[in-house]
Amino acid sequence: MAIRILLADDQALLRATFRILIDSSDDMEVVAEATDGSEAVDLTRVHHPDVVLMDIRMPGTDGLAATATLCADPDLSATRVLILTTFETDKYVAQALRAGASGFLGKDVTADALLDGIRTVAAGESLLSPVATRTLIGRFLATPEAGNHLAPPERLAALTAREREVMALAAEGKSNSEIADDLVLSPLTVRTHVQRAMTKLDVRDRAQLVVIAYQSGLVRPTPPPAQ
């Protein structure tokens, strides 16, 4: 079955370019287009796409606010949000993840990387490289914004010792293969532990699992080096 995608961008030319690229792929299709965040929310509730390709800077309701609304709606739990923007800064990455986004790409991404990114997010994986995860977590997620409370440590009580161990290594930015090597497990077993942890913690994907790992104190970031 084809991956169903909703495009949310206020620039008509970019939407048209993305539509041509996506529709040229046999395993995905564009089901709707939105020009701002509010319309993206409305159309997502109508079409229930697998992935929303969301710009950040749009008139009216921006992409971050729209992402937060979509990810908080239990009826849209199967929909993933992939942020695609020219404003590729650590601050926006952190805000996007806090809002519930599953991935983040700059608009200078190659065509193949964009299509692979859509597939990755649609499969329930986080679209953050290990290096990006380490940088992002260390600088922003461990220090929440005002009003954004830390996840209580007792939230992890339902996890087994192995699930916590795997979750901690994922939060350090390690891939499933790297975790498997560290723990002498198969990558499939690691993936199973990650999925069980996500189910128990009721999170959408790996990105949100990483956020909780830091916010609950399961792991702590290394302080940045002194300038």
* Structural domains of the chain, with CATH: 3-127 (3.40.50.2300), 151-215 (1.10.10.10)
- Phi and psi at 191, nearest 5°, equal -60, -40
Which residue pairs, CB below 8 angstroms and at least 24 apart, start in 23-29? Answer: 25/115, 26/2, 27/2, 27/3, 27/119, 28/2, 28/3, 28/4, 28/115, 28/118, 28/119, 29/2, 29/3, 29/4, 29/5
141: Cβ contacts below 8 Å, ≥ 6 apart: 94, 97, 98, 210, 211, 214, 215
Task: Please tell me the predicted confidence (pLDDT) of residue 220.
Answer: 72
Task: Please tell me the predicted confidence (pLDDT) of residue 176.
Answer: 83
The pTM of the full predicted model, rounded to 2 decimals, is 0.67
Task: Please tell me the predicted confidence (pLDDT) of residue 39.
Answer: 96
CA 182 to chain centre: 25
- pLDDT block averages, 10 residues each, the chain of length 227: 94 93 94 95 96 91 92 90 72 74 80 87 70 54 49 80 92 83 93 91 79 80 52
